[in-house]
Amino acid sequence: MYKEKKFETISNLLDDNKKNDAQVKLSELRNEFSLHPEYLYLMSRYLRLDNRLYQSIDTLILSIKIDYDLNFLQKKKYKKSTETLLKKKFDMLISGYKLIGNTEMEKVIFQYLEPNKHLEFLEYINKTMPGINIKKK
């Protein structure tokens, strides 16, 4: 599922609820991958385990945004996440909004689950939550 194989280890640690071990591995990769879409997905999973739900949601949204910023991906030599992982990201986003009791956003995201609707989702997010962006240098 991950294009960067080193992320599999972290994913397995998170699956096993080994939050501290996952945090160590995420820290080791931060300098090289801090804006990598797969890394951000794993960071979002970690934040959720750590009960930082709002940060988890913001990190997940940024991960999705980067997946669709082809110029940024090319500049960093990153690859877009697989469709399987993108689906997991959207499912996690829905469940995240459910956890914080935001049923309105939960319903909104259901409208954009199909891959051909993801760009429309990002347009919606940019209008309603303009603060979640990458700093352009």
78: left (phi over 0), alpha (psi -120 to 50) or beta: beta
Between residues 100 and 130, which one has the greater pLDDT? Answer: 100
Which pLDDT score is estimated for 29? 97
Which pLDDT score is estimated for 46? 98
Rounded CA-CA distance 127/37 in Å is 21
Reference 69, options 35, 99, 94, 44; nearest CA is 35
pLDDT in tens, 32-85: 999 999 999 999 999 999 999 999 999 999 999 999 999 999 999 999 999 999
Which pLDDT score is estimated for 133? 67
Tabulate helix, strand, coil % of the chain (nearest 5): 70, 0, 30
> Predicted confidence band at 136 (pLDDT cuts at 50, 70, 90)?
low
Q: What is the arithmetic mean of pLDDT over 18-42?
A: 97
What does the angle CA 85 – CA 88 – CA 90 come to, to the nearest 5 degrees? 115
The encoded tokens of residue 128 equal 């309603």
| Domain edges within the chain | 6-128
Which pLDDT score is estimated for 4? 86
Burial letters 19-58, b for 16+ CB under 10 A, else e: eeebbebbeebeeebebbbbbbbbbbbbbbeeeeeeebbb
pLDDT in tens, 85-129: 999 999 999 999 999 999 999 999 999 999 899 999 999 998 988
Q: Which amino acid is at 108?
A: V
The encoded tokens of residue 3 equal 């294009």
Which pLDDT score is estimated for 129? 83
Residues 6+ apart with CB under 8 A from 61: 93, 125, 129, 132
